[in-house]
C-alpha cells in the first residue's frame, strides 16, 4: 500500500479525493465536465459518495496507485487531478498522469503538481522510478514534463490507442538520482 498523501506546495494542496469533495465532484459529474477528474471517476452523481468513501482509498491501500485532487489551498477549489497508476511496489515504479480543469490551465498548476508528486513518490512513496507518457500531439503536457524536471527518454512509436488511431508517445521519467537536481536531499 501507499502511505496517505498530503503535499503542500506553493498555492496548492495535493491530497487524496475525500468525502469533503462530494459537492464539487458531484457538480463536475452532473455538468458532464470531467476535465478536473481522474480516469475512473464516477459517471453518475449516485456513484460519487461510494467512490469518495471507498474506491479511491482502496486503490491506495491495494498499492495500485493513488487518485489525488489538486486543490487551491486558500479556497479549497479542486483545479485538477493527478495520480499514479500501474504501480509495482516491489519493482518501485509507477506512471504519473494529470489533468487540469479547462478554465484553470496556463497557471502552472500541472507543472507544480507533477514535480511535487514525483518528489513525494520518490521519497515518502518509496518508489524508484516515475514514468510519464505524453502524446506527441499534446505539447502542453510535454512542456509540463520538461518544466517539472522529468527527463526525456525517447519516443514510444504508436504506443497509444484511442480506439480508432494509434499515437506516438513521448517517454519521460524521473528517478531517485534525479532528486538532487530538484533540490531534494534524501
Ligand X SMILES: CC(C)(COP(=O)(O)OP(=O)(O)OC[C@H]1O[C@@H](n2cnc3c(N)ncnc32)[C@H](O)[C@@H]1OP(=O)(O)O)[C@@H](O)C(=O)NCCC(=O)NCCS
Shortest distance, position 54 Cβ to ligand X, whole Å: 26
Burial category of 163 from C-beta neighbours within 10 Å (exposed 0-12, middle 13-18, buried 19 and up): exposed
The reply to whether 40 sits near ligand X by the rule CB under 6 A is no
The reply to whether 140 sits near ligand X by the rule CB under 6 A is yes
Burial category of 167 from C-beta neighbours within 10 Å (exposed 0-12, middle 13-18, buried 19 and up): middle
Closest to ligand X by CB, 106 vs 186, is 106
Closest to ligand X by CB, 57 vs 117, is 117
Closest to ligand X by CB, 57 vs 101, is 101
Closest to ligand X by CB, 57 vs 111, is 111
| Interstrand relation of 93-100 and 129-135 (parallel, antiparallel or unpaired) | parallel
Contacts of 179 by beta carbon, 8 Å cutoff, 6+ apart: 119, 122, 123, 185, 186
> Quick one: which H or E segment has residue 108?
none
The reply to whether 19 sits near ligand X by the rule CB under 6 A is no
Judged by CB under 6 A, the residue of 71, 130, 134, 174 near ligand X is 134
Residues in contact with ligand X by CB under 6 A are 97-100, 105-111, 134, 138-141, 143-144
Amino acid at each position: 500500500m501507499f502511505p496517505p498523501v498530503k503535499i503542500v506546495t506553493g498555492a496548492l494542496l495535493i491530497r487524496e479525493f475525500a468525502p469533503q469533495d462530494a459537492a464539487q465532484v458531484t457538480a463536475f459529474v452532473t455538468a458532464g465536465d470531467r476535465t478536473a477528474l481522474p480516469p475512473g471517476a464516477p459517471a453518475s452523481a449516485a456513484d460519487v459518495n461510494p467512490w469518495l468513501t471507498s474506491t479511491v482509498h482502496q486503490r491506495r491501500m491495494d498499492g495500485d496507485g493513488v487518485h489525488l485532487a489538486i486543490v487551491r489551498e486558500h479556497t479549497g477549489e479542486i483545479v485538477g487531478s493527478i495520480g499514479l497508476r500501474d504501480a509495482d511496489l516491489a519493482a518501485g515504479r509507477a506512471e504519473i498522469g494529470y489533468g487540469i480543469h479547462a478554465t484553470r490551465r496556463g497557471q502552472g498548476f500541472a507543472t507544480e503538481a507533477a514535480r511535487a508528486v514525483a518528489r513525494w513518490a520518490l521519497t515518502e512513496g518509496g518508489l524508484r522510478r516515475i514514468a510519464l507518457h505524453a502524446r506527441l500531439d499534446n505539447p502542453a503536457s510535454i512542456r509540463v514534463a520538461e518544466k517539472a524536471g522529468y527527463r526525456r527518454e525517447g519516443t514510444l512509436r504508436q504506443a497509444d490507442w484511442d480506439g480508432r488511431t494509434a499515437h506516438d508517445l513521448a517517454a519521460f521519467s524521473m528517478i531517485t538520482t534525479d532528486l538532487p537536481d530538484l533540490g531534494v536531499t534524501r
